[in-house]
Amino acid sequence: MREYKQLLLANKAWATELLEEKTDFFQRQTVGQKPDFLWIGCSDSRVTPEQMTMTPPGGMFLHRNIANLVHDDDLNLLSVVQYAVDVLKVRHVILCGHHGCGGVLATLEGGTQGPVDQWLGNARDVLHRHRDEIDAQPDQAARVNRLVEVNVMEQLRHLARLDTIQKAFAEKRELWLHGWVYDIRDGHIKTLLEVDANTDLDSLARPDKVLM
């Protein structure tokens, strides 16, 4: 386990390395940001969006929460989406789940309490809608991973129905929503589905399995 002081030393080394590559790097960062991507993902410490996509600072706007859920009353997420789409004018919104998600496992096994239990209500709704397929999986690991995949689909559907997204679609802005999953076992991101202004959200089909 790294001590907190090591984080500070690593930060100095990181900043020094960037300055050696581009002496005006941090000066340019102060001018502002114009990322092309909004990433909505899980808070899991093993899932590091910028690192695993090799995206430099300024290239990605980020929102993370347990099990990458889209709650209609989550002011944090709603504000992030509004700012990213209306102000930063991102062109791509990526919603990414991941293999072996602890929040999804807790949804299947139950026993959660307090705020986490409340938060996972959204994921339990997804489980209820797809219970037939989840129960048909051969073991618990497969059930977790299939729920991860259909959860990404359902959260992307929630996302597409937010007022901010619907307004952008109506104004014919360039905007695509992507449903991905990250496989911790091999480090690869796998695509599930894509949504744009012409997508029939009521007819979204369950994505093919990618977490084999």
Domain boundaries, the chain: 1-32, 33-195
Is the pLDDT assigned to residue 30 strictly greater than 80?
Answer: yes
pLDDT tens digits for range 35-85: 999 999 999 999 999 999 999 999 999 999 999 999 999 999 999 999 999
Residues recognised as catalytic: 42, 44, 46, 98, 101
pTM, two decimal places: 0.94
Question: Which residues belong to the annotated binding site for Zn(2+)?
Answer: 42, 44, 98, 101
Q: Among residues of the chain, what percentage have pLDDT more than 90?
A: 93
Q: Which CATH number, 1.10.1040.10, 3.40.1050.10, 3.60.70.12, 3.40.190.10, labels domain 33-195?
A: 3.40.1050.10
What pLDDT score does 28 carry? 87
Closest CA to 144 of 82, 88, 101, 203: 101
Question: Over the stretch 99-151, which tens digit does the pLDDT of each residue have?
Answer: 999 999 999 999 999 999 999 999 999 999 999 999 999 999 999 999 999 99
